[in-house]
Every structure is written in structure tokens, then in C-alpha cells.
């Protein structure tokens, strides 16, 4: 039997830290539920102090960071939803219970060990 209460607490803490990290560089579009990277320099008092190339580079970096954080954000939210639905710990491909050691290593796992290589094919 999974201790979903402690998993839920850990996931909620993870979600809070992801959101606060995302909020420093992006804004949540509540209509699409997408995080959108904020323009570089928007928070800077002296936008003239950085030149164009730096801005482009930082923008690309910020986009990449937001993309990575957003995947985590969605995975954590999905896992929390699955706890609510009572489907947490069930492989999304075979419907079989996910091995406890796999969940211990990765509480966000969506598949059993047999299907872990197919996890990337699942919709976000
Ligand atoms: Zn499976």
C-alpha cells in the first residue's frame, strides 16, 4: 500500500518551489495553462546596460529553462491529480501497478519498469 499522504506532501512542496522559480522568469497564462517566458530586462532597472546579443542569448536560455521547469510542473500536477483520482502508482500504458522501487526512485514515474522507455511517448 502506497503512503500517498507523504507522497502528496512531498509533491506539494515540489510544486510550490517550481512555481516560485517559474514566477521569477515567466508568467502563467491562465487561459492556456502555459508558462510564458518573460522578456529579458523587463525586471531590470537599467535595460540599456545589456547589449542586444546578450539579450538574445539570455532569452534563449530563459526559454529553455522555462520549458524544463514547465515539464516538471506538469508532471507534479499530474501526479497530484492521480493521487486525487486514486490512480497514482498505476502504469499509464499497461494499467499495472508501478514497482515500489521505481516510484521510490522517481515519484513522478508514469509507467512501470517494462514501459519506462515508452514514457516519453505519452502526451504531456
Ligand atoms: Zn506498464
User: How is the chain split into domains, by residue range?
Assistant: 4-39+52-121
- pLDDT the model gives residue 51: 73
Distance from residue 92's CA to the centre of ligand 1 (Å): 7
- pLDDT the model gives residue 114: 98
- Is 62:48 a contact under the CB 8 Å cutoff? no
- Given the C-alpha cell 502528496, which residue does it identify? 8
For 33-82, how does the pLDDT look when each residue is reduced to its tens digit (9 = 90+)? 999 999 887 655 555 556 788 888 999 999 999 999 999 999 999 999 99
CATH number of 4-39+52-121: 1.20.120.910
C-alpha grid cell, residue 9: 506532501
For 85-123, how does the pLDDT look when each residue is reduced to its tens digit (9 = 90+)? 999 999 999 999 999 999 999 999 999 999 999 998 998
For 7-26, how does the pLDDT look when each residue is reduced to its tens digit (9 = 90+)? 999 999 999 999 999 999 99
- pLDDT the model gives residue 2: 80
The pTM score is 0.82
Query: Hey, is 103 helix, strand or coil?
Result: helix
- pLDDT the model gives residue 49: 59
Which H or E element spans position 82? helix 52-85
With a CB cutoff of 8 Å and minimum separation 6, the contacts of 26 are 35, 36, 37, 38, 62, 66, 69, 70
Distance from residue 99's CA to the centre of ligand 1 (Å): 10
- Closest of 120, 119, 109, 103 to residue 6, by C-alpha: 103
Distance from residue 90's CA to the centre of ligand 1 (Å): 8
C-alpha grid cell, residue 52: 542586444
Distance from residue 70's CA to the centre of ligand 1 (Å): 25
- pLDDT the model gives residue 1: 64
With a CB cutoff of 8 Å and minimum separation 6, the contacts of 118 are 93, 111
Distance from residue 13's CA to the centre of ligand 1 (Å): 27
Amino acid at each position: 500500500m502506497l503512503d500517498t499522504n507523504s507522497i502528496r506532501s512531498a509533491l506539494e512542496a515540489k510544486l510550490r518551489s517550481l512555481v516560485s522559480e517559474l514566477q521569477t522568469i515567466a508568467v502563467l497564462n491562465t487561459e492556456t495553462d502555459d508558462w510564458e517566458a518573460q522578456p529579458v530586462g523587463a525586471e531590470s532597472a537599467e535595460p540599456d546596460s545589456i547589449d542586444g546579443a546578450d539579450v538574445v542569448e539570455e532569452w534563449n536560455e530563459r526559454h529553455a529553462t522555462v520549458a524544463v521547469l514547465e515539464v516538471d510542473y506538469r508532471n507534479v500536477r499530474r501526479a497530484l491529480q492521480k493521487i486525487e483520482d486514486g490512480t497514482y502508482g498505476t502504469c499509464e500504458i499497461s494499467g499495472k501497478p508501478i514497482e515500489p522501487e521505481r516510484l521510490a526512485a522517481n515519484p513522478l514515474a508514469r509507467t512501470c519498469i517494462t514501459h519506462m522507455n515508452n514514457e516519453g511517448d505519452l502526451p504531456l
